[in-house]
Copies of this chain bind each other. A is one copy, B any other.
Amino acid sequence: MPKLDLTQIPWRTGSIYPAGKLADAVAGRASQRLGDAGGLTQYGVNLVRLEPGAQSSLRHYHMQQDEFAMVTEGVLTLIENDGETEMRPGDCATFKAGEANGHHFVNRTDVPASFLVVGTRTETETAYYSDIDVMVKIGAEGANFTRKDGSPLTADQIGDET
């Protein structure tokens, strides 16, 4: 049956970010892996739901993977290099691989908001975080978060501030 039963696809929370401040930054985010549920392998398609105050990710851009997003519910604020843009259901945005324009969505309303996001699957990937000195390389061994010069993240980058 090609039609997906969305009620049977688990909502995932958490992230690949190192535990601590980075992982805490995406509290209130949950997503369903729609493409995976349907057996697709060439790109990921996720439905991402943000609770009030939550953000989709730390602001970042991908080097190899094209991204496409469409808001499906509520109102989201897209934040990227050129500023902020309010987006409503049906509004779409594209993030071409390799363009150094870090982006993320933030839910500044008091009700949940959701978007559909598509991203190419590649064997390896590098992404850069725009507002912090962090990059990630993803490969067969998983995700390796470092500073942009390749050195390890420091305690103040991953720990809490107490």
Given A41-B66, A42-B65, A118-B68, is A35 in contact with B4 using a C-beta cutoff of 8 Å? no
Q: Does residue A124 face the partner (Cβ distance < 8 Å to B)?
A: no
Instruction: From B1, B2, B6, B92, give the contact of A6 (CB < 8 A).
Output: B92
Q: How far is the CB of A65 from chain B (nearest CB, A)?
A: 7
Contacts of A96 in B (CB 8 A): 38-41
Inter-subunit contact A92/B3 (CB<8 Å)? yes
Q: How far is the CB of A103 from chain B (nearest CB, A)?
A: 6
Q: How far is the CB of A70 from chain B (nearest CB, A)?
A: 6
6 nearest CB pairs, A to B: A38-B94, A2-B93, A40-B66, A42-B66, A42-B120, A39-B96
A38, A40, A45, A92 — most chain B CB neighbours (10 Å): A92
Inter-subunit contact A118/B72 (CB<8 Å)? no
Inter-subunit contact B3/A68 (CB<8 Å)? no
Q: Does residue A90 face the partner (Cβ distance < 8 Å to B)?
A: yes
Complexed CA–CA distance, A15 and B57 (Å): 39
Inter-subunit contact B78/A3 (CB<8 Å)? yes
What residues of chain A have their CB less than 8 Å away from a CB belonging to chain B? 1-4, 6, 34-35, 37-43, 45, 65-66, 68, 70, 72, 78, 80, 82, 85, 87, 90-97, 101, 103, 116, 118, 120
Contacts of A1 in B (CB 8 A): 82, 85
A3, A91, A97 — most chain B CB neighbours (10 Å): A3
25 contacts between A and B (CB under 8 A): A2-B85, A2-B95, A3-B78, A3-B91, A3-B92, A4-B92, A4-B93, A6-B92, A34-B92, A35-B68, A35-B94, A37-B94, A38-B92, A38-B94, A39-B94, A39-B96, A40-B66, A40-B96, A41-B66, A41-B96, A42-B66, A43-B43, A43-B66, A43-B68, A70-B116
